[in-house]
Structure 1
Amino acid sequence: MSQQFRSLAPSADPNVVRTALAGAVAMAVAMGLGRFFYTPVLPAMMADLGLGPAEAGWIASANYVGYLLGAILAAYGWAEGIERKVALASLVATAALLLAMGLSSDVAVLAAIRFLAGLASAFAMIFTTAIVLSHGLVSGKSWVQATHFGGVGAGIAISAIMFGLLVLADGGWRMAWIAAAALAFAGLAVVMRHLPQDVARSGPAKKEPPLVWTGPLLGLTVAYGIFGFGYIVTATFLVAIVRDGGGSSLFEAGVWLVTGLAAAPSVAYWLPAVRRLGLVNVFALGCLVEALGVAASVLVPLPAGPVIGGLLLGATFIMVTAFGLQAGRQLAGDSPRRALALMTAAFGTGQIIGPVVAGYLADWTGTYTWASLAAAAALLASGAIALAFCRTRPGAT
């Protein structure tokens, strides 16, 4: 537990359930919709707008450039005491930018929209997480983190169902973005009502001290950045892999639904492993499992390959993200938010590189196989680096 929360009374937040649910909805909007809705809509956009994998990769990477910038900006402490205002403004921007995606056809404009959406999602993720997890720590409720991050998978699953219904209704990709914006505005109303007013603190808002870099923290940050590269290739192109293999639009939605359903409870069902093995060991194990899924998505024929890929991606990517950040908080001393922001920046750097490399490899080879195998190799490297630099004892949470 971070030092900054140890002295707080356990009664500081009597409405912890509402807080956790508000966090889950915020993550569903910012991440499940704002970040990942691009994946199921991408094949239809590529077909209608004549986009190749490289152009699709550049649009995806623009989102991750915005995410990286947001993470870096969040590390400077300017939002101390106004976290809620920044988080809500970011969710408003997310919903508006989802709507804007349905109104444009120009690659440069689409990339600009996705850049701004990445900036908004980074702010929303970092500042809602700071609020929600602080109240969870104060209340001593470990399930708050699982509920909060589970919102990402819930958002993916809900958006997959919505996309499948639009496919049945011949709604088209533009209508899909507009419907996603409507869902986001509805989620925003819930968050505005139930998100706490501030981070739970033992005293007045104050800036954290500069982050002290140690070998384990540096190693974990490097591993986290490589993980960003490894996971994002499949997270961006999974549905396009289905389309490339001849799968139907409904099967595309189904694969994305499997991903979301596996992701929603993933933090919760990995918690027993954390208690037995420790955070870093589970981080590395998750990278291994995800690498198997990424490889299966292109090496195992339809329908099994993408389903296995989606299932193992969903079962791991949120929990690896969450437990990686939690391990970083433990290693950060009195500067947990700076560590969270800078690790997110490393993660964002990997995400920027991933879709561009994957897009050009797909254009060059005519298949997503080599891009996915490169991603699987990166995931294995991430786990190995984490184990080498950050050995932890079982039960360390």
Structure 2
Amino acid sequence: MTSSANSPVRFALGGLVTMAVAMGIGRFIFTPILPAMMTDLGLTPGDAGIIASANYVGYLIGAIIAGYGWASGIERPVVIVSLAASAALCLAMSLSDSILVFSILRFLAGVASAFMLVLAATIVFSHLAVAKRHDLQAMHFGGVGAGIALSSVLVAASAASGFGWRQDWIGAAVLSVLGLLAVVWLLREGPVRTGADTKEPPVRWTPDFLKINIAYGVFGFGYIITATFIIAIVRSSNGGASMEALVWFVTGVAAAFSVWLWAPLLRRVGPFAVVALGMLVQAAGVAASVLLPPPVGPILGGILLGLTFIVITASGFQAGRALLPQSPRRVMAVMTAAFGIGQIIGPLVGGYLANITGNFTAATLAAAASLVIGAGFAFLSRR
């Protein structure tokens, strides 16, 4: 299969829409919808943490499964089916009141989002490589932020119209279906085949590779506490629906442009320093979200969260591949597992701390402290 000369932007746009549905909506729309669910259903922060962690367990398992060769040749159909499943699971969330059912649905949504993330990247990046347009990868990753921003607009419009959280999930399903139709048109081909896959050597657990994995796991723990509860923090400070929407909107907009903004520094100092610096910047934002008064604290926290989490994720993989260049897929699988374990533990710990303290301050400051520690491991892992 060949990639036509005029297709790179189309593939990058297809990746953008896929990431918007998979991550911005299918995965992260839970954050702005969560406060209304907690109010209407009487969910505690601990309950919310359980539901959130179920999604991240699904993502971890899905990412590991997607990393095997079973989808070779059927990447595009699997992405399409996963998009449809994500839409159906959003709709199903509107029909339940049960923590157990919510957890199962979010687990399955996590699996679907991981399939889309891994397999859509396989399609898009192969065509961008043939066209020598690696710069367009930033457009692909920008879909996460675009989806987050779009989800904030959806939830705000729903609230302004007098609708509740059930209608929010229905709206998420509708947006996901529209995204599905766009992806069917934009990603009309599967990945470019460059020959038979070669067997990669096993991962070597060098001290530096161990350090970058510790940093990556700590990053998963630290960022996800704020990414899950930041809108609940705004709700607890009586910020109002407009402030909740604004905080999540600026998070998404910052995320959409973050890869472009960090690219010059990444070229200059390399991925290890970017991971370390990104974690320090994120730690400052995480702490600000509870230490500074609203609206300044949550808005600054949202902006710095958006500016860093995608960049740290992508740069972390680059750092791991730099340490073990002969095993890129195995490195991605191992680091995804480290990251996934961290973000599974994060909401559970955050929700538990919020339950016993009555607010999110202790949980958020613990997240900020962990990010500072992780930055140290990332910096020390460089050669």
Equivalent of 1:279, from 271, 287, 293? 271
In 2, the alpha carbon distance for the partners of 1:374 and 1:295 equals: 9
1:110 correspondence with 2:102 = yes
In 1, the alpha carbon distance for the partners of 2:316 and 2:290 equals: 27
Give the RMSD, CA atoms, in angstroms.
1.7
- Indicate if the aligned counterparts of 1:39 and 1:235 stay in contact, CA closer than 8 A: yes
Equivalent of 1:381, from 365, 373, 380? 373
**Residue 75 (structure 1) shift:** 2.8
Which consecutive segments of 4 or more residues in structure 1 shift more than 6 A? none
The 1:343–1:358 alpha-carbon spacing in structure 2 relative to 1, beyond 3 Å, is same
State the number of aligned residues: 382
User: What amino acid does structure 2 have at the position aligned with 1:141?
Assistant: R
Equivalent of 2:80, from 84, 88, 93? 88
**Residue 36 (structure 1) shift:** 0.2
User: What amino acid does structure 1 have at the position aligned with 2:204?
Assistant: W
Q: In structure 2, what is the equivalent of residue 75 of structure 1?
A: 67
**Residue 12 (structure 1) shift:** 6.5
1:180 correspondence with 2:172 = yes
User: What amino acid does structure 2 have at the position aligned with 1:183?
Assistant: L
* Secondary structure in structure 1 of the residue aligned to 2:70: coil
In 2, the alpha carbon distance for the partners of 1:307 and 1:374 equals: 19
Q: In structure 1, what is the equivalent of residue 362 of structure 2?
A: 370
Equivalent of 2:349, from 349, 357, 373? 357
User: What amino acid does structure 2 have at the position aligned with 1:376?
Assistant: A
The 1:132–1:293 alpha-carbon spacing in structure 2 relative to 1, beyond 3 Å, is same
**Residue 110 (structure 1) shift:** 0.5
User: What amino acid does structure 2 have at the position aligned with 1:340?
Assistant: M
TM-score by length of 2: 0.96
**Residue 207 (structure 1) shift:** 6.0
Q: Identity over the aligned pairs, expressed in percent?
A: 55
**Residue 255 (structure 1) shift:** 0.7
User: What amino acid does structure 2 have at the position aligned with 1:209?
Assistant: E
Equivalent of 2:22, from 18, 30, 33? 30
User: What amino acid does structure 1 have at the position aligned with 2:31?
Assistant: T
* Pairs within 5 Å for 1:1-397: 14-195=6-187, 197-204=189-196, 206=197, 208-215=199-206, 216-391=208-383
In 1, the alpha carbon distance for the partners of 2:370 and 2:204 equals: 24
- Indicate if the aligned counterparts of 1:126 and 1:341 stay in contact, CA closer than 8 A: no
- Indicate if the aligned counterparts of 1:134 and 1:199 stay in contact, CA closer than 8 A: yes
User: What amino acid does structure 2 have at the position aligned with 1:164?
Assistant: A
In 2, the alpha carbon distance for the partners of 1:319 and 1:196 equals: 28
- Indicate if the aligned counterparts of 2:218 and 2:342 stay in contact, CA closer than 8 A: yes
**Residue 76 (structure 1) shift:** 2.7
The 1:380–1:60 alpha-carbon spacing in structure 2 relative to 1, beyond 3 Å, is same
- Indicate if the aligned counterparts of 1:76 and 1:338 stay in contact, CA closer than 8 A: no
* Secondary structure in structure 2 of the residue aligned to 1:36: coil
- Indicate if the aligned counterparts of 1:130 and 1:337 stay in contact, CA closer than 8 A: no
In 2, the alpha carbon distance for the partners of 1:46 and 1:290 equals: 26
- Indicate if the aligned counterparts of 1:61 and 1:356 stay in contact, CA closer than 8 A: yes
In 1, the alpha carbon distance for the partners of 2:317 and 2:188 equals: 22
**Residue 13 (structure 1) shift:** 5.6
TM-score by length of 1: 0.92
In 2, the alpha carbon distance for the partners of 1:80 and 1:221 equals: 27
In 2, the alpha carbon distance for the partners of 1:115 and 1:387 equals: 33
- Indicate if the aligned counterparts of 1:211 and 1:339 stay in contact, CA closer than 8 A: no
**Residue 210 (structure 1) shift:** 4.2
In 2, the alpha carbon distance for the partners of 1:344 and 1:12 equals: 32
**Residue 142 (structure 1) shift:** 2.9
